[in-house]
Amino acid sequence: MFSYATPAQRAQVIAGLRELADYLEAHPQIPARADCEMNVSIIGDYGVEVDDADKRAELERIAALADAPVRSRNGQHTAKRGFGPVTYRATAIDQARMDAHEALYSYAGNIGPDRP
């Protein structure tokens, strides 16, 4: 129902994170950010509509697994857990919030400053 990495993809992501950490540690001359975030969006599989209640229930499930609090604001619900400066964040966005966002940006590319 939800669009997440397959077990094989998950293993590749975890291996890639470890490889990146080892690489940055071995190459201190390469700049790194002071923080890092893994974002998981709770959305339906391609072509599958998921209602707001199901998305919020899935977020609650993930929050319990991650031992993370859920915070909600303006139709956007998040659960995050920090590991030092590294954060795991799961997000579910209500459809009304998504619709408002799409409406706000519906003119993008069509309206801009006058060119000389």
pLDDT (tens digit per residue) in 40-92: 999 877 667 888 999 999 999 999 999 999 999 999 999 999 999 999 999 99
Beta-bridged to residue 71, according to DSSP, are 78
What is the pLDDT at residue 25? 97
Where residue 115 falls (left for φ over 0; alpha for ψ -120 to 50; beta otherwise) is beta
The reply to whether 76 falls in a domain is yes
The reply to whether 29 falls in a domain is no
- The domain of 86 spans 34-104
What is the pLDDT at residue 47? 67
The reply to whether 67 falls in a domain is yes
State the DSSP code for 115: P
pLDDT averaged over every residue in the chain: 90
The reply to whether 20 falls in a domain is no
Counted domains in the chain = 1
Secondary structure class of 114 (helix, strand, coil): coil
What are the Cα distances from residue 62, in Å, to 3, 35, 50, 85, 115?
Answer: 14, 22, 16, 20, 49
Q: Are 63 and 69 in contact (CB under 8 A)?
A: yes
